[in-house]
């Protein structure tokens, strides 16, 4: 293992070792790539039969020389060598630098170490064919350079040995100074080893070294294993004198030992202080370093950089950019595991994503084209479209004029949303819908402050982020559905949004910096006007869309809905035909709505069913073609099958197998086969309607059936879905004279019921409903009134007349007319007061096939809004007093009137 002192030749080939020192006893691995060192290795080591020796001589870069000559004690050999312009030589490791410093003078150290190669390997680099060597060298003993001369491309030095021979050595070991120094060195070395041993178990062998290797070599070996500066290495090399060398080595070993102990102490201390997350952070830092080393750069650091780039290109106003940078700096200082990190990040992402300046190019507004597109998208609605065109015209003349905010009011499915999106496309702007339905919390509009956990921006800012431009058409959907409660008033936030003076700097609590909403065009929708807070309503121009008549719905279906639905399902009229008669049936029996949303849904259901069949048909189409060719849709499917099978019978090639498969559709029922009949489309008929849509949900006889027993009357009410026909059922049973109400009811309706009952009771004798045996009817009986049909909350006083009618019907045991519906509020004394939503209620009556409508007289003016074609089909009965209502509601007049003197 350890080399015995060797015989040195007088000349050695010299391998320069740049800024490094090979000490005796040390082993290094060097890759030689420069032409001179390759040549040297080849000639001195590779091609030699017996193992040759070479000299390893430290050289220093000129810069290093400038700093460090001081320490190179003993330098002072032939000055000629110091500045020799020798050919470039280098150890492989420094090869790159070498070629750079080609012209730099080389500073040779004048002492080196003779080395022998323990291992040699030769490689040929692939494309260039360049030869390289990897050499493992073991340092043997010091020498000094007498003179240096070039031999070919490398250098050869005349040398003299510096280390002691064996004999000199043995003599020196008797020297008491050396003995003391050796002891001291060994003790320090021993200490170092035991410290190292605690850390890792593999140093056991080093202890053995300590016992067996002569101390002067040990000194070199120990020092060689430390990472110390070039200068210190050089001074170790220059420590030819054994005493000097031992004390130097002792000093270095001790220093190393101390640094380990200190480091240990620090780690222990630090470890104690590190929390888990900090430890993770350290590990992550290390991982990052490792990744960087490996060239994997996909981590947070770059993430943050990418975020910053995104923020830079977001076009933030300067003051906001400053704010964002502050936040970004904060983020940079945080660890990803820290609580605030992700929230801070999400916030910055929002800042980067918001369209501070990005606009969709507003194109020159062409009113004609806008009108055409409105017309092509929407049937009817002439007035509404006219108003929209006016609105657009104003914008065209004064692009930054702040017209009122348009607010479309009407039941669902009447085209409010699609009109708003038409406005957007007419203006060439992007469209974004923000749903305000059920928004009770101001924070929904304005966002939560970021101090809240899980805080978010409000819906407006979120919408803007999604739409990505700052000038969209923004639809505030269901603005009437915002309520206010303890959590603030969303309406007041909306006020700010819609106020052109204030919305230049809209303040979202989450965003915490103002955002300019002034480029947004707002359009609102509502089901009803009443719930909209007046100040908000004040900012808006209401455009009512009352709902469609069945005739209009039919037109909308044929012109818009059916083509669109077919298109959405990849069908055309070639595949599916929905005849008008069927559309009418859907309108009558399957939908009873003011708008066309359910109609569209039902049409879509038909299209889906057809699409499935068409898809199947395509799968089987070769067979269908064949069957058509062979014989026109014969009843004798079996005959057809026979022919086909006969044709397929003469072999079992794969194609025949296919043919057999194709036969399968022939097995289905005759009716279905007609649908598979090549080109002819599926035509929707009543059977298909029932199959796809189920049994009819409504029928025209509903009213007649419902009022078949006394106690039921037909009312008209207003719900969020427009007008509705509402049956009121009253019944009575033995009890204590209490009133029970069921159904989805508001408080007002309960009061209406009380008033109705009081009125009826007060008139009981006049109405002669408490005569004879029925006398007890009102005293010892409970009355139960039920408002069936749907979970639609019903409120409003307009059921007053209906309630009375049903009670009168109950007590008089007379049925009300099935063709008559009514609405109206009633006072305690029997006056009928006007109510709202007349147009919708009349439309609803019309939808239900009601022929007569009883309305408060003072609602006459509202009839002007009802389309005349609908009015013409209805008998409108205007009433002042409840007695008039009863007169109209029963066949042959008020059942009790003749007897009483009402």
Binding residues for ATP: 410-417
Q: State the minimum distance, in angstroms, from the CB of residue 605 to ligand ADP.
A: 15
Sheet order of strands, 852-856 included:
739-742, 781-786, 722-734, 712-719, 820-822, 852-856, 875-879
CA distance 840 to 863: 10
Nearest by Cα to 603 from 574, 571, 573, 578: 578
**Residue 594 near ligand ADP by CB under 6 A:** no
Q: State the minimum distance, in angstroms, from the CB of residue 819 to ligand ADP.
A: 29
Choose between 411 and 830: whose C-beta lies nearer to ligand ADP.
411
Q: Which stretch binds ligand ADP (CB under 6 A): 407-415, 441-449, 785-793, 888-896?
A: 407-415
Choose between 596 and 896: whose C-beta lies nearer to ligand ADP.
596
Query: Residues near 516 by Cβ (< 8 Å), separated by ≥ 6?
Result: 470, 503, 504, 505, 506
**Residue 458 near ligand ADP by CB under 6 A:** no
Q: Where is the binding site, in residues?
A: 410-417
How far is CA 580 from each of CA 585, 589, 599, 700, 804, rounded to the nearest angstrom? 9, 14, 13, 19, 41
Q: State the minimum distance, in angstroms, from the CB of residue 408 to ligand ADP.
A: 7
Q: State the minimum distance, in angstroms, from the CB of residue 826 to ligand ADP.
A: 33
Side-chain half-sphere CA neighbours of 892 within 13 A: 5
496-525 residues in contact with ligand ADP (CB under 6 A) are 525
**Residue 413 near ligand ADP by CB under 6 A:** yes
Options 380, 830, 849, 895; binder of ligand ADP; rule CB under 6 A: 380
Q: Which stretch binds ligand ADP (CB under 6 A): 338-346, 373-381, 782-790, 834-842?
A: 373-381
Side-chain half-sphere CA neighbours of 320 within 13 A: 22
Options 414, 432, 728, 844; binder of ligand ADP; rule CB under 6 A: 414
Nearest by Cα to 795 from 827, 762, 747, 830: 747
Q: Which residues of 200-227 are buried (b: 16+ CB within 10 A; e: fewer)?
A: eeebeebeebbeebebbbbbbbbbbebe
CA distance 681 to 585: 20
Q: Which stretch binds ligand ADP (CB under 6 A): 87-95, 339-347, 406-414, 702-710?
A: 406-414
Q: State the minimum distance, in angstroms, from the CB of residue 564 to ligand ADP.
A: 7
Continuous segment of H or E residues that includes residue 100: helix 95-100
Choose between 192 and 599: whose C-beta lies nearer to ligand ADP.
599
Options 378, 528, 839, 847; binder of ligand ADP; rule CB under 6 A: 378
Choose between 378 and 763: whose C-beta lies nearer to ligand ADP.
378
Q: Which stretch binds ligand ADP (CB under 6 A): 377-385, 676-684, 705-713, 790-798?
A: 377-385
Options 20, 109, 395, 416; binder of ligand ADP; rule CB under 6 A: 416
Q: Which stretch binds ligand ADP (CB under 6 A): 327-335, 414-422, 566-574, 757-765?
A: 414-422
Choose between 422 and 627: whose C-beta lies nearer to ligand ADP.
422
CA distance 209 to 221: 10
**Residue 238 near ligand ADP by CB under 6 A:** no
How far is it between the farthest Cα atoms of the chain?
Answer: 154
Q: State the minimum distance, in angstroms, from the CB of residue 600 to ligand ADP.
A: 5
**Residue 55 near ligand ADP by CB under 6 A:** no
**Are 133 and 119 contacting, i.e. CB atoms less than 8 angstroms apart?**
no
Choose between 417 and 744: whose C-beta lies nearer to ligand ADP.
417
Q: State the minimum distance, in angstroms, from the CB of residue 441 to ligand ADP.
A: 24
CA distance 185 to 252: 10
Q: Return the residue matching tokens 């139960």.
A: 784
Selecting among 481, 553, 815, 841, the annotated active-site residue is 841
**Residue 387 near ligand ADP by CB under 6 A:** no
Choose between 380 and 711: whose C-beta lies nearer to ligand ADP.
380
Q: State the minimum distance, in angstroms, from the CB of residue 524 to ligand ADP.
A: 11
Side-chain half-sphere CA neighbours of 149 within 13 A: 6
Nearest by Cα to 519 from 497, 494, 537, 536: 497
CA distance 98 to 528: 86
How far is CA 771 from each of CA 764, 779, 807, 809, 886, rounded to the nearest angstrom? 8, 12, 16, 15, 19
Side-chain half-sphere CA neighbours of 778 within 13 A: 21
**Are 901 and 876 contacting, i.e. CB atoms less than 8 angstroms apart?**
no
Options 17, 379, 718, 721; binder of ligand ADP; rule CB under 6 A: 379
Q: State the minimum distance, in angstroms, from the CB of residue 792 to ligand ADP.
A: 16
Selecting among 239, 752, 798, 806, the annotated active-site residue is 798
**Are 885 and 835 contacting, i.e. CB atoms less than 8 angstroms apart?**
no
Q: State the minimum distance, in angstroms, from the CB of residue 395 to ligand ADP.
A: 21
**Residue 447 near ligand ADP by CB under 6 A:** no
The phi, psi pair for 602, rounded to 5°, reads -65, -40
Choose between 181 and 479: whose C-beta lies nearer to ligand ADP.
479
Options 16, 412, 546, 722; binder of ligand ADP; rule CB under 6 A: 412
Token pair in block for residue 491: 């309406």
Q: State the minimum distance, in angstroms, from the CB of residue 521 to ligand ADP.
A: 17
Q: Which stretch binds ligand ADP (CB under 6 A): 346-354, 376-384, 565-573, 650-658?
A: 376-384
Chain centroid to CA 545? 36
**Residue 417 near ligand ADP by CB under 6 A:** yes
Q: Which residues of 3-16 are buried (b: 16+ CB within 10 A; e: fewer)?
A: eebeebeeebbbbb
**Annotated catalytic residue 798:** yes
In the DSSP assignment, the letter for residue 505 is G
CA distance 799 to 820: 14
How far is CA 412 from each of CA 452, 480, 525, 723, rounded to the nearest angstrom? 36, 13, 10, 11
**Are 242 and 216 contacting, i.e. CB atoms less than 8 angstroms apart?**
yes
Choose between 595 and 800: whose C-beta lies nearer to ligand ADP.
595
Alpha helices in 539-630 (DSSP H): 550-556, 562-568, 580-585, 597-630
Q: State the minimum distance, in angstroms, from the CB of residue 606 to ligand ADP.
A: 16
Choose between 310 and 387: whose C-beta lies nearer to ligand ADP.
387
Residue nearest to ligand ADP (CB): 415
**Residue 481 near ligand ADP by CB under 6 A:** no
Query: Residues near 151 by Cβ (< 8 Å), separated by ≥ 6?
Result: 13
**Residue 107 near ligand ADP by CB under 6 A:** no
Pairing outcome for strands 712-719 and 682-683? unpaired
Using CB under 6 A as the binding criterion, the count of chain residues that bind ligand ADP stands at: 18
**Residue 600 near ligand ADP by CB under 6 A:** yes
What are 137's strand-pairing partners? 28, 117
The site string for ligand ADP over 548-567 (x = CB under 6 A, - otherwise) reads: --------x---x-------
The site string for ligand ADP over 524-543 (x = CB under 6 A, - otherwise) reads: -x------------------
Options 323, 597, 628, 881; binder of ligand ADP; rule CB under 6 A: 597
864-883 residues in contact with ligand ADP (CB under 6 A) are none
Q: Which stretch binds ligand ADP (CB under 6 A): 356-364, 408-416, 738-746, 771-779?
A: 408-416
Q: Which stretch binds ligand ADP (CB under 6 A): 113-121, 359-367, 409-417, 704-712?
A: 409-417
The site for ligand ADP (CB under 6 A) is made up of 378-381, 412-418, 525, 556, 560, 595-597, 600
- Active-site positions read 798, 841
């Amino acid at each position: 293992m350890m080399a015995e002192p060797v015989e040195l030749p007088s000349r050695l080939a010299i391998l320069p070792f740049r800024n490094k020192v090979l000490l005796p006893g040390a082993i290094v691995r060097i890759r030689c790539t420069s032409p001179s060192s390759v040549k040297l290795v080849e000639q001195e080591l590779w091609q030699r039969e017996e193992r040759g020796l070479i000299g390893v001589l430290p050289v220093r870069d000129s810069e290093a020389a400038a700093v460090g000559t001081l320490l190179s004690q003993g330098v002072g050999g032939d000055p000629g060598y110091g500045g020799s312009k020798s050919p470039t030589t280098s150890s492989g490791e420094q090869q790159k630098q070498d070629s750079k410093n080609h012209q730099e003078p080389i500073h040779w150290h004048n002492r080196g170490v003779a080395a022998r190669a323990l291992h040699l390997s030769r490689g040929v680099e692939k494309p260039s064919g360049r030869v390289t060597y990897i050499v493992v060298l073991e340092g043997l003993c010091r020498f000094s350079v007498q003179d240096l001369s070039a031999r070919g491309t490398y250098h050869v030095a005349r040398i003299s040995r510096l280390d002691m021979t064996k004999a000199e050595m043995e003599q020196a070991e008797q020297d008491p100074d050396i003995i003391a120094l050796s002891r001291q060195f060994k003790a320090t070395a021993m200490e170092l080893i035991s410290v190292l041993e605690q850390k890792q178990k593999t140093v056991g062998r080093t202890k053995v070294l300590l016992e067996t290797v002569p101390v002067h070599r040990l000194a070199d070996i120990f020092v060689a294993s430390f990472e110390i500066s070039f200068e210190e290495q050089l001074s170790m090399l220059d420590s030819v004198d054994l005493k000097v060398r031992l004390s130097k080595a002792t000093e270095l070993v001790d220093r190393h030992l101390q640094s380990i102990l200190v480091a240990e102490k620090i780690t222990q201390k630090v470890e104690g202080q590190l929390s888990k997350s900090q430890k993770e952070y350290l590990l992550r830092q290390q991982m990052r370093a490792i990744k960087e080393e490996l060239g994997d750069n996909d981590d947070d650091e770059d993430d943050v950089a990418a975020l910053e780039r995104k923020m830079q290109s977001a076009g933030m106003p300067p003051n906001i950019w400053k704010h964002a940078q502050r936040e970004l700096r904060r983020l940079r200082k945080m660890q990803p595991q820290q609580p605030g990190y992700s929230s801070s990040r999400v916030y910055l992402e929002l800042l980067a994503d918001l369209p501070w300046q990005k606009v969709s190019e507003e194109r020159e507004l062409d009113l004609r084209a806008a009108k055409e597109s409105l017309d092509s998208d929407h049937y009817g609605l002439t007035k509404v479209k006219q108003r929209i065109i006016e609105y657009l015209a104003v914008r065209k003349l004064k692009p930054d004029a702040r017209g009122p905010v348009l607010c479309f009011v009407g039941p669902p499915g009447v085209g409010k949303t699609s009109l708003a999106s038409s406005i957007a496309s007419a203006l060439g702007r992007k469209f974004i819908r923000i749903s305000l339905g059920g928004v009770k919390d101001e924070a929904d509009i304005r966002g939560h402050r970021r101090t809240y956990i899980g805080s978010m921006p409000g819906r407006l800012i979120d919408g803007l982020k999604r739409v990505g431009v700052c000038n969209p058409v923004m639809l505030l959907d269901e603005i009437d559905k915002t309520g206010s409660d303890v959590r603030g008033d969303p309406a007041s936030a909306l006020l700010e949004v819609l106020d052109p003076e204030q919305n230049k700097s809209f303040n979202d609590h989450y965003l915490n910096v103002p955002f300019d909403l002034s480029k947004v065009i707002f359009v609102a929708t509502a089901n009803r006007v009443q719930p909209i807070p007046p100040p908000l309503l004040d900012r808006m121009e209401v455009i009512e869309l009352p709902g469609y008549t069945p005739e209009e719905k039919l037109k909308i279906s044929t012109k818009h809905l059916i083509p669109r639905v077919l298109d959405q399902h990849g069908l055309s009229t070639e595949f599916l035909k929905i005849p008008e008669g069927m559309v009418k049936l859907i309108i009558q029996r399957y939908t009873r709505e003011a708008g066309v949303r359910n109609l569209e849904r039902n049409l879509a259901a038909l299209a889906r069913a057809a699409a499935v069949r068409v898809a199947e048909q395509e799968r089987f189409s070769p067979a269908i073609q064949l069957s058509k060719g062979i014989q026109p849709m014969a009843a004798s499917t079996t005959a057809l099958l026979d022919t086909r099978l006969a044709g397929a019978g003469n072999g079992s090639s794969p194609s025949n197998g296919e043919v057999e498969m194709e036969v399968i559709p022939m097995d289905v029922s005759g009716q279905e086969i007609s649908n598979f009949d090549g080109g002819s489309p599926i035509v929707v008929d009543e059977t298909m309607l029932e199959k796809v849509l189920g049994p009819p949900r409504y029928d025209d006889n509903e009213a007649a059936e419902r009022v078949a027993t006394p106690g039921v009357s037909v009312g008209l009410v207003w719900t969020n879905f427009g007008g509705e026909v509402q049956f009121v059922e009253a019944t009575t049973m033995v009890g204590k004279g209490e009133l029970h109400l069921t159904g989805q009811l508001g408080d007002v309706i309960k009061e209406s019921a009380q008033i109705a009952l009081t009125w009826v009771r007060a008139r009981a004798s006049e109405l002669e409903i408490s005569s004879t045996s029925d006398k007890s009817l009102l005293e010892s009986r409970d009355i139960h009134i039920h408002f069936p049909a749907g979970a639609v909350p019903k409120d409003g006083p307009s059921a007053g007349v209906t309630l009375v009618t049903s009670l009168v019907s109950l007590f008089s045991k007379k049925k009300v007319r099935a063709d008559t519906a009514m609405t109206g509020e009633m006072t305690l004394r029997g006056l009928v007061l006007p109510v709202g939503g007349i147009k919708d209620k009349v439309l609803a009556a019309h939808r239900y096939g009601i022929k007569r409508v009883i309305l408060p007289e003072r609602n006459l003016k509202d009839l002007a809004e009802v389309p005349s074609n609908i009015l013409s089909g209805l008998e409108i009965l205007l009433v002042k007093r409840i007695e008039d209502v009863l007169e109209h509601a029963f066949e042959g007049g008020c059942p009790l009137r003749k007897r009483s003197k009402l």
